[in-house]
Amino acid sequence: MVSNVVRVRVYIYDEFEEDLRKSKGWTLITGFPGFGYVGTIATRYLVSKLNAIKIGDVLTKYMPDFAALEDYGLMTPYEVFMVKEKKLLILVNNALPQPPERLAYALDFVEWFKEIGGSRAILAGGLNIKYKVGKEEFRWIATEGCEWRFSEPQIDKGLYIVGPLALFLIALRLRKVPTLVILPYTEPSKYNPRAAAVFIKKVNELLDLSVDVADLLQYSKLVEEAEAALKEAMKAAREERGPKPYM
pLDDT tens per residue, range 160-202: 999 999 999 999 999 999 999 999 999 998 889 999 999 999 9
Q: How many CB atoms lie within 10 A of CB 233?
A: 10
Per the domain annotation, does 64 fall within a domain? yes
* Measured distance CA(47)–CA(92) in Å, rounded: 9
pLDDT of residue 219: 78
* Measured distance CA(137)–CA(51) in Å, rounded: 27
Per the domain annotation, does 132 fall within a domain? yes
Confidence of residue 230 (pLDDT cuts 50, 70, 90): low
State the CATH number of the domain containing residue 149: 3.40.50.10900
Mean pLDDT across 75-102: 97
Per the domain annotation, does 39 fall within a domain? yes
pLDDT digits (tens, 9 = 90+) for 131-144: 999 999 999 999 99
pLDDT digits (tens, 9 = 90+) for 142-167: 999 999 999 999 999 999 999 999 99
Per the domain annotation, does 10 fall within a domain? yes
| Chain Cα centroid distance, residue 232 | 32
Residue 108 pLDDT > 90, yes or no? yes
Residue 245 pLDDT > 70, yes or no? no
Residue 209 pLDDT > 70, yes or no? yes
Per the domain annotation, does 190 fall within a domain? yes
* Measured distance CA(107)–CA(77) in Å, rounded: 18
Per the domain annotation, does 238 fall within a domain? no
Per the domain annotation, does 235 fall within a domain? no
Least-confidence region, from 94-98, 110-114, 141-145, 233-237: 233-237
Residue 1 pLDDT > 70, yes or no? no
- 3-class secondary structure, 121: strand
| Domain with 70 in it | 2-211
Q: Do the Cβ atoms of 177 and 110 come closer than 8 Å?
A: yes
Q: How many CB atoms lie within 10 A of CB 152?
A: 14
Q: Do the Cβ atoms of 110 and 169 come closer than 8 Å?
A: no
Q: How many CB atoms lie within 10 A of CB 201?
A: 17
Per the domain annotation, does 36 fall within a domain? yes
Question: What is the number of structural domains in the chain?
Answer: 1
pTM for the model: 0.89
Which residues fall within 8 angstroms of residue 23, CB to CB, at 6 or more apart? 84, 87, 117
Q: Report percent pLDDT > 70 for the chain.
A: 89
Mean pLDDT across 28-55: 96
